Chains A and B, each alone.
Chain A
Amino acid sequence: GQQLNQSPQSMFIQEGEDVSMNCTSSSIFNTWLWYKQDPGEGPVLLIALYKAGELTSNGRLTAQFGITRKDSFLNISASIPSDVGIYFCAGARNNAGNMLTFGGGTRLMVKP
């Protein structure tokens, strides 16, 4: 089962609003990643974080690697309709290659 708790499970927002979602774990991860999955597609990497406390931006997206290494958040500013999709957090541990543990996802819906 999932080891990462992701919240909220779903969000329905107005276009132009900012969005925040987060992910928590009972154990430490050395890498945190955020992926987005559109219907009928595989997940696409948005942001990767490698150091505790790291804050990284990718366009309108900003993500942070929590100091305790047990959490991460993703913010989306000024949402647009193409932001619709399911956002997954994922964690990886050292020497575990690409064995990612995914959260349950946050489904984002944007009303134009």
Chain B
Amino acid sequence: ETGVTQSPTHLIKTRGQQVTLRCSSQSGHNTVSWYQQALGQGPQFIFQYYREEENGRGNFPPRFSGLQFPNYSSELNVNALELDDSALYLCASSSGGRGPGELFFGEGSRLTVL
């Protein structure tokens, strides 16, 4: 059974560029959620995908968008990058058999915006 894997692990972009981050969920998990963790802070919920549709969103602007594929893997896209988007982006997967909030996190993609 493989865990949650994310790519890339590190990347550097400049302000105004676009970025795509990828996540493969844990085997058998059909729900993927994305979190942004700024340095020294707790993670903040961005959005969640279930059955290829977004079914929950935190307080993030529309330039943060996502996709979920039939194999439950997911992408997070951020357009028009801003300096404040520099953070660790965490993907987490879960399944219906688990309790609410019982998430399995990947190691994250660390984004630096210059």
Q: Which stretch in A38-46, A65-73, A76-84 binds the other chain? A: A38-46
Q: Is the CB of A42 within 8 A of B45?
A: no
Who on chain B is nearest to A40 by CB?
Answer: B107
Which of A44, A98, A99, A105: most chain B Cβ within 10 A?
A98
Assembled-state Cα–Cα distance A105/B42 (Å): 6
Q: Is the CB of A99 within 8 A of B108?
A: no
B105 to chain A, nearest CB (A): 3
Q: Is the CB of A48 within 8 A of B101?
A: yes
Who on chain A is nearest to B43 by CB?
Answer: A102
A26 close to B (CB within 8 Å): no
Interface size on A, residues (CB 8 A): 28
A21 close to B (CB within 8 Å): no
Q: Is the CB of B108 within 8 A of A42?
A: yes
Q: B31 — which chain A residues lie within 8 A by C-beta?
A: 97-98
Who on chain A is nearest to B44 by CB?
Answer: A102
Q: A90 — which chain B residues lie within 8 A by C-beta?
A: 42, 101
Q: Is the CB of B42 within 8 A of A2?
A: yes
B7 to chain A, nearest CB (A): 14
**Interface code B57-92, partner A: CB below 8 Å = 1, 0 otherwise?**
010000000000000000000000000000000101
Q: Is the CB of B43 within 8 A of A98?
A: no
Decide: A99 near B33, CB < 8 A? Known: A44-B105, A105-B41. Answer: yes
Q: Which residues of B contact A (CB under 8 A)?
A: 4, 31, 33, 35, 40-45, 48, 50, 55-56, 58, 90, 92, 94, 99-108
Q: Which residues of A contact B (CB under 8 A)?
A: 2, 4, 6, 30-31, 33, 40-45, 48, 50, 88, 90, 92, 94, 96-105
In the A-B complex, the 10 residue pairs with the smallest Cβ-Cβ separation, listed nearest first, are A42-B105, A102-B42, A92-B101, A98-B33, A33-B101, A99-B45, A92-B100, A99-B56, A102-B43, A97-B56
